[in-house]
């Protein structure tokens, strides 16, 4: 079985890839997917910690895994709202490129 | 007696209230009510003067041990003064019935007269300084009302304003003086309690006492129109002529002299010793000289009389000031002059009112002339008043001026010579007035058609004419002269008599020879007399000074407003807000990923702070 460090490494990698995607990509849908990637990285970390934090009876600490379910639920809702906003945005502006969305510039 | 005295004080007030709230719309009723009230007060005053002294008071306000009382004090001084005030007041009220017959605001006029009578009575009867100050201000207020009676006329409205404001300057000093004297004289406002503390004053306090007396004198300078606050009185002639006779000649302007003499009676003349008395006497002397010089070149018949009033008030103030050296006799001489002057100056003003009325409100004496033929009775009374003012023996003005000059010669010779010089000028300008207005030929339509005035105006003139002759004789004078123990003195032809007789002949003769048969002033183009005609340019000087002062203040205020408040506070706040906004505006790039970077950096910072920087 893989060690905790390996899980955390993969999780960090996922998070880094997501963050990099958010920061450098221009297509807002891709940015949105990268956000999901970062959420998944957080889920992976939680599960890993849960798995490797066993109590005196040999069972894992399930608090972490319960939290993951919450995150998945909230993420699903977030995706629904987010995609709806993106669709509305596209209808209004005919673009999904963040470089063109600068009307809030001060 | 006390009840009668309180009635004397309150009757005019009730009358004024009744006119204001009751019969305002019926002028005839208002006039009759006012005249009835003043006749009533006159009868009460006469009754009181032949009875014993009285006093009565009640507490008006209390704060701890400090009390303010409203009370009346009826000694010989107050009782005699009340006869003068109500007597002149009564004749002026009756005269007004004729003079103001067709005035549109007759009810307001008589209401104003009544409120004036109330205020003046309050000053005379007051038994303490606070009450006197209250009524002092009320007198100023009623004077304002009456000067501005014809307020539609711009000059009248401005004259009323000027009188009020100039009086306020003096009253400010008066108030400080009252409070200082309160502190010096054992913390009492009551006249009756001032004598003992004043006697016990140590020598070391002489300076502060002198300053307090001079500040109190400030009130008299304003109310009695002494130099340098005399400028309001000639302008006050914008009011109806009976008002000028009552307020600006016989009673109100004498209040300053009365108040100073009241203080001398109450606290003794010792507090007037030294520089205070000398300053007062010199102010009086300067006023009497300047006013007499200015009177020589006035064309308005009322203004000549106004300046002569100033001049005579100067004599009185001079006498009161001399009391510091000479003792109470000098102050009594001043009060005696106040008493005689009240009658003959009211006579002169009412006479000029009759003339103005007959000439259809023409006041320029050069447009009169020949009135002696057309209105002989008025002219005769006016001539009596003129002679009394000139101090021709044996008329009333002669005796009182004689007393003042005698006091001046004894205690301050320079002031005596000023007084003697004015004794030349007074007959000169009065002769000018009389010759130009009453003798010769009519020079305008108004004077051609002038007729004798109706009896309601003539009778007061005749009564005052009789009083101008006899009021100084000891039979009358010894009972109603407003003094404590004055007796008309035995007369000896001494140096003062010969000098004043010479002055009278010189001035009257000069005036007659110079102006007889003239139709314009032969001295008008003389540069010196131009200076007199323009009142030494004092009005212009004051205008400049006040303007300069106001401009300076306005500039300072403008600077504060423009630079400090507008520039620094309001503008500065706006500018700093705009600057800050400009800085923070740059953060709102509108770039989504820029926000994300900042967001991430923020998280890193938080992690750093919570994990590593503990």
User: pLDDT tens digits for B584-602?
Assistant: 888 787 788 888 888 889 9
With a cut of 50, say whether residue B55 has pLDDT above it.
yes
B475, pLDDT greater than 70: no
Contact B96, B242 (CB under 8 A): yes
Greater pLDDT, B598 or B480 = B598
Find the closest chain A residue to B595 by CA distance.
A23
Across the interface, whether the CB atoms of A23 and B590 are under 8 A apart is answered no
Phi, psi dihedrals of residue B180, rounded to the nearest 5°: -65, -45
- Partners of B300 in the β-ladder: B364
More confident residue, B481 or B564: B564
- pLDDT more than 90, % of chain B: 22
**pLDDT at residue B20 in the model:** 87
Model confidence, pTM: 0.77
Number of alpha carbons in the 13 Å side-chain half-sphere of residue B15: 32
DSSP code at position B474: H
Is the Cβ of B591 closer than 8 Å to some Cβ of chain A?
yes
pLDDT above 70: percentage of residues in chain B = 97
- Please provide the average confidence, as pLDDT, over all residues in chain A: 90
pLDDT value, residue B53: 84
What is the average per-residue pLDDT within B363-367?
83
Please list every residue in chain A whose beta carbon sits closer than 8 Å to the beta carbon of residue B595.
none
Which residues of B are less than 8 Å from A31 in CB distance?
Answer: 592-593
CA dihedral defined by B474, B476, B478, B482, rounded to 10 degrees? Answer: -130
B522: pLDDT strictly greater than 90: no
Q: Is a pLDDT exceeding 80 seen at residue B447?
A: no
B607 touches chain A (CB under 8 A): no
The minimum CA-CA distance between A28 and chain B, rounded to whole Å, is 10
For residues B131 and B72, what is the distance between their CA atoms, to the nearest angstrom? 9
**B591/A23 CB distance under 8 A:** no
The full set of domain ranges for chain A reads: 4-100
Average pLDDT over residues B391-400: 83
Q: Which pair of structure tokens corresponds to residue B604?
A: 């890193």
Q: Find where tokens 């000067």 sit.
A: B147
* Tens of pLDDT, residues A62-98: 889 999 999 999 999 999 999 999 999 999 989 888 8
Write the DSSP assignment of B393-433 as a string of letters: TTSHHHHHHHHHHHHHHHH-HHHHHHHHHHHHHHHHHHHHH
Q: Which residue blocks in B148-300 are alpha helix, DSSP H?
A: 154-184, 195-199, 206-223, 232-235, 241-245, 255-267, 275-295
With 0-12 CB in 10 A as exposed, 13-18 as middle and 19+ as buried, what is A75?
middle
Calculate the alpha carbon distances from B230 to B131, B167, B461, B574 in Å. Answer: 25, 10, 28, 52
Q: What is the mean pLDDT of chain B?
A: 86
pLDDT band at B177 (very low <50, low <70, confident <90, very high): very high
Which of B585, B593, B597 minimises the CB distance to A98?
A: B593
Chain A residues with CB inside 8 Å of B589's CB? 102, 105-106
pLDDT band at residue B562 under the 50/70/90 scheme:
confident
- Count Cα atoms within 13 angstroms, Cβ side, for A33: 7
Domain A4-100 has CATH 3.40.190.10: no
CA distances from B303 to B73, B109, B294, B429 (A): 36, 22, 10, 11
pLDDT tens, residue by residue, B27-38: 888 888 899 999
Question: Which H/E stretch holds residue B59?
Answer: strand B54-63
Rounded Cα gap, residues B79 and B116, in angstroms: 18
The shortest C-alpha distance from B578 to chain A (Å) reads 13
Share of chain A above pLDDT 70, in %: 99
Q: ipTM of this predicted complex?
A: 0.81
Which residues in chain A are contacts of B592 at CB distance < 8 A? Answer: 28, 31, 98, 101
Most trustworthy range by pLDDT among A78-82, B446-450, B473-477, B485-489: A78-82
Flag whether pLDDT at B119 surpasses 70: yes
> Average pLDDT in the B510-537 region?
79
Q: Is the pLDDT of residue A9 over 60?
A: yes
Q: Which of B349, B313, B339 is nearest to B472 (CA)?
A: B339
Instruction: Say whether pLDDT at B394 is over 90.
Output: no
> Most confidently modeled of A27-31, B56-60, B323-327?
A27-31
pLDDT of residue B480: 67
Above 60 in pLDDT, residue B488? no
Please name every residue paired with B74 in a beta bridge, in sequence order, or none if there are none. B54
User: Does residue B487 surpass a pLDDT of 70?
Assistant: no
User: What's the confidence (pLDDT) of residue B482?
Assistant: 59
Predicted local distance difference test score (pLDDT) of residue B486: 47
* Angle subtended at Cα B590 by Cα B589 and Cα B596, rounded to the nearest 5 degrees: 85
Q: Report cis status (omega within 30 of 0) of the bond before B61.
A: no
Nearest to A104 among B584, B588, B596 (CB): B588
Average pLDDT over residues B569-593: 87
Helix (H) or strand (E) holding B553: helix B538-559
Scanning every residue of chain B, which has its alpha carbon at the shortest distance from the alpha carbon of A24? B593
């Amino acid at each position: 079985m893989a060690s905790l460090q390996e899980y955390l490494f993969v999780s960090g990698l996922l998070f880094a890839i997501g963050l990099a995607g958010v920061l450098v990509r221009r297509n807002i849908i891709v940015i949105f997917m990268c956000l999901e990637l970062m959420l998944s990285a957080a889920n992976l970390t939680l599960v890993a910690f849960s798995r490797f934090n066993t109590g005196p009876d040999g069972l894992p600490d399930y608090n972490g895994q319960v939290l993951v379910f919450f995150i998945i639920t909230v993420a699903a809702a977030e995706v629904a709202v987010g995609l709806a906003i993106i669709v509305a945005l596209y209808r209004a502006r005919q673009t999904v490129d963040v470089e063109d969305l600068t009307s809030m510039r001060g | 007696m006390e009840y009668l005295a309180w009635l004397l004080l309150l009757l005019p007030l009730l009358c004024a209230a009744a006119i204001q709230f009751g019969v305002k719309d019926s002028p005839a009723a208002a006039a009759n009510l006012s005249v009835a009230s003043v006749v009533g007060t006159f009868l009460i005053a006469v009754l009181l003067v032949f009875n014993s002294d009285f006093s009565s008071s009640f507490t008006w306000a209390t704060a701890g041990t400090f009390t303010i009382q409203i009370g009346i004090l009826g000694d010989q001084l107050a009782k005699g003064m009340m006869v003068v005030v109500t007597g002149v007041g009564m004749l002026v009220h009756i005269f007004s019935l004729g003079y103001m017959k067709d005035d549109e605001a007759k009810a307001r006029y008589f209401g104003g007269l009544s409120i004036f009578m109330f205020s003046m009575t309050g000053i005379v009867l007051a038994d303490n300084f606070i009450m006197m100050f209250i009524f002092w201000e009320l007198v100023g207020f009623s004077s304002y009302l009456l000067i501005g009676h014809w307020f539609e006329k711009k000059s009248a409205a401005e004259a009323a304003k000027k009188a009020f404001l100039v009086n306020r300057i003096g009253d400010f000093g008066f108030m400080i003086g009252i409070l200082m004297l309160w502190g010096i004289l054992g913390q009492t406002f009551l006249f009756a309690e001032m004598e003992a503390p004043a006697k016990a004053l140590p020598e070391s306090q002489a300076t502060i006492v002198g300053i307090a007396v001079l500040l109190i004198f400030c009130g008299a300078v304003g109310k009695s129109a002494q130099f340098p606050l005399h400028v309001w009185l000639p302008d006050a002639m914008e009011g109806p002529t009976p008002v000028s006779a009552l307020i600006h000649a016989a009673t109100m302007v004498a209040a300053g002299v009365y108040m100073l003499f009241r203080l001398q009676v109450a606290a003794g003349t010792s507090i007037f010793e030294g520089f205070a008395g000398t300053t007062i006497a010199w102010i009086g002397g300067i006023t009497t000289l300047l006013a007499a010089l200015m009177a020589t070149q006035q064309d308005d018949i009322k203004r000549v009389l106004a300046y002569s009033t100033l001049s005579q008030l100067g004599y009185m103030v001079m006498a009161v000031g001399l009391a510091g050296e000479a003792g109470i006799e000098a102050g009594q001489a001043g009060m005696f002059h106040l008493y005689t002057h009240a009658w003959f100056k009211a006579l002169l003003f009412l006479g000029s009112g009759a003339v103005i009325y007959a000439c259809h409100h023409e006041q320029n004496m050069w447009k009169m002339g020949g009135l002696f033929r057309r209105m002989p009775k008025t002219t005769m009374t006016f001539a009596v008043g003129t002679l009394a003012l000139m101090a021709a023996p044996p008329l009333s003005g002669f005796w009182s001026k004689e007393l003042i000059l005698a006091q001046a010669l004894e205690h301050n010779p320079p002031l005596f010579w000023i007084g003697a010089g004015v004794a030349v000028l007074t007959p000169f300008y009065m002769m000018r007035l009389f010759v130009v207005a009453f003798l010769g030929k009519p020079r305008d339509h108004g004077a051609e058609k002038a007729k004798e005035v109706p009896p309601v105006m003539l009778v007061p003139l005749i009564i005052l004419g009789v009083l101008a002759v006899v009021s100084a004789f000891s039979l009358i004078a010894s009972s109603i002269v407003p003094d404590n123990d004055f007796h008309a003195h035995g007369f000896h032809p001494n140096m003062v008599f010969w000098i004043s007789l010479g002055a009278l002949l010189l001035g009257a003769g000069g005036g007659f020879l110079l102006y007889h048969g003239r139709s314009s002033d032969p001295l008008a183009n003389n540069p010196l007399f131009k200076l007199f005609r323009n009142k030494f340019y004092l009005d212009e000087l004051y205008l400049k000074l006040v303007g300069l002062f106001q401009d300076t203040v306005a500039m300072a205020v403008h600077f504060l407003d423009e630079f400090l408040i507008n520039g620094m506070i309001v503008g500065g706040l706006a500018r700093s807000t705009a600057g800050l906004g400009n800085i923070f505006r740059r953060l709102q790039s509108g770039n989504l990923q820029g926000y994300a970077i900042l967001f991430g950096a923020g998280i890193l910072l938080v992690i750093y702070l919570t994990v590593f920087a503990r």
